[in-house]
């Protein structure tokens, strides 16, 4: 069976970085991908694709991108489901990212205003909007303040940690 996805698009918001109860990093984001054709009004429409990325790649993508960043992703489509607070079964289809590429310069990314990080640190919701008690928790729930929050200090990272 073949399940491969390659997408190029722009982030619709900053990466929402959270951690599972076991401490594994997970990032969720939407990628706006412009269609190749125009509609009846001559405008290009976009698809907004849910994506998830895991572990060190999630931390790196979160550190090196912002809302509006142009990126390329490779991965596979996955479907999962859970029961929400109202007792309804919710189905989610998303791209699980295996690899990504930053498609614009560091200067272009840093010139973008950074979003507030408050939404990513809310302990009431877990990964994908699931309640945190379903196996996902926010960084504050696990180990205090988010160590990856933008504090204004320079990032101390070695070349071995970079994804490119």
Please tell me the predicted confidence (pLDDT) of residue 36: 87
Please tell me the predicted confidence (pLDDT) of residue 128: 44
Please tell me the predicted confidence (pLDDT) of residue 133: 37
Rounded-to-integer distance, Cα 150 and Cα 102, Å: 20
Please tell me the predicted confidence (pLDDT) of residue 107: 79
How far is residue 75 from each of residues 4, 36, 54, 99, measured CA to CA in Å?
6, 21, 12, 7
- Binned average pLDDT, 10 residues per bin, the chain of 164 residues: 93 91 91 88 89 93 90 94 91 93 83 60 40 40 55 64 60
- The closest alpha carbon to 149, from 16, 53, 10, 8, belongs to 16
Please tell me the predicted confidence (pLDDT) of residue 162: 62
Please tell me the predicted confidence (pLDDT) of residue 145: 60
Please tell me the predicted confidence (pLDDT) of residue 160: 66
Query: Nearest-5° angle of CA 14, CA 98, CA 126?
Result: 45
* Domains of the chain (ranges, CATH numbers): 5-161 (2.40.50.140)
Q: Quote helix, strand, coil % in the chain, to nearest 5.
A: 20, 40, 35
């Amino acid at each position: 069976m073949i399940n491969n996805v390659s997408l190029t698009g722009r982030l619709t918001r900053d990466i929402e970085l959270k951690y599972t109860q076991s401490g594994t990093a997970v990032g969720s984001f939407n990628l706006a991908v412009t269609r190749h054709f125009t509609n009846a009004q001559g405008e290009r429409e976009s698809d907004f694709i849910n994506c998830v990325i895991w572990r060190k790649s999630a931390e790196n993508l979160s550190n090196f991108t912002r809302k509006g960043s142009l990126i390329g992703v490779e991965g596979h489509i996955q479907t999962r489901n859970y029961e929400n607070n109202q007792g309804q079964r919710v189905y989610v289809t998303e791209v699980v990212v295996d690899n990504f590429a930053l498609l614009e310069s560091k200067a272009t990314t840093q010139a973008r205003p950074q979003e507030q990080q408050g939404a990513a640190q809310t302990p009431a919701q877990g990964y994908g909007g699931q309640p945190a008690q379903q196996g996902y928790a926010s960084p504050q729930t696990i180990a205090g303040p988010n160590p990856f929050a933008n504090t204004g200090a320079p990032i101390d990272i070695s070349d071995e940690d970079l994804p490119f």
